[in-house]
A and B are shown apart, each in its own frame.
Chain A
Amino acid sequence: GQQVMQIPQYQHVQEGEDFTTYCNSSTTLSNIQWYKQRPGGHPVFLIQLVKSGEVKKQKRLTFQFGEAKKNSSLHITATQTTDVGTYFCAGSNYQLIWGAGTKLIIKP
């Protein structure tokens, strides 16, 4: 069946360093969505990418959708403590298939 693989599982960074998480789908997607889940919270929608090669920015967050619509990335520039949480990608054809998430941890 369709799978969405997300790496890395964890990323430890110093505050101010960059963070990147990657998603790869086994099949071509109609769109990909990104969600953030804070510790103890529920997933919150960040953005949806639909077009091949699409790049979208939200302040320090940059989202990319691959040309083949099978992979995507989220890059955070100059991380802050408010960025802490787990970032999930979810690929969509007729239903959302979720990656396992990448947990962003800020080193003290």
Chain B
Amino acid sequence: DTGVSQDPRHKITKRGQNVTFRCDPISEHNRLYWYRQTLGQGPEFLTYFQNEAQLEKSRLLSDRFSAERPKGSFSTLEIQRTEQGDSAMYLCASSYRTNSRDTQYFGPGTRLTVL
């Protein structure tokens, strides 16, 4: 399968614990995005990388969230001291951006439940 993969698919944690999610993008894609989606809403942008550089981070994103893409391939998203409000689907997408195109291909998501 050459699509975007995410691990784990589901995560249940207790409030206050740290969690880390992994995303493996499509191999030739230079951009990688993280989104959060809650029920009935569209994807909410969190951050994105061009190769290994983190180019933008949402102002809505708390300091408890951090993302890395150390070698410009896979990425990790860490949430520290989780809160119940962090419960959501965390989606990763990748794209190969050109001047005219930036189609994003999504992974299956990681569903986080904070108890």
Binding site for B on A (CB under 8 A): 6, 31, 33, 41-45, 48, 50, 88, 90, 92, 95-101, 103
Contacts and interface: CB of A to CB of B under 8 A. Distances in A.
Given A88-B42, A98-B44, A98-B45, 13 more contacts: A6-B42, A31-B100, A31-B101, A31-B102, A43-B91, A43-B93, A48-B101, A90-B104, A95-B48, A98-B42, A98-B43, A100-B41, A100-B42
A96 B42 contact: no
A86 to B, nearest CB: 8
Contacts of B107: 42
Contacts of A50: 100
Given A31-B100, A50-B100, A95-B56, A45 B42 contact: no
Contacts of B40: 103
B55 to A, nearest CB: 9
Contacts of B100: 31, 50
Q: Interface residues of B toward A: which range? A: 20 to 34
Interface on chain B toward A: helix, strand, loop, or mixed SS? loop
A6 B100 CA distance: 23
B108 interface: yes
Interface in B41-62: 41-45, 48, 56
Interface in B83-104: 91, 93, 100-104
A42 B91 contact: yes
Contacts of B104: 33, 43, 45, 90, 96
B105 A45 contact: yes
A96 B106 contact: no
A97 B108 CA distance: 20
Contacts of A101: 41-42
Contacts of B48: 95
A44 B106 contact: yes
Contacts of B25: none
Given A48-B103, A95-B48, A42 B108 contact: yes
Contacts of B42: 6, 88, 98-101
Contacts of B44: 98
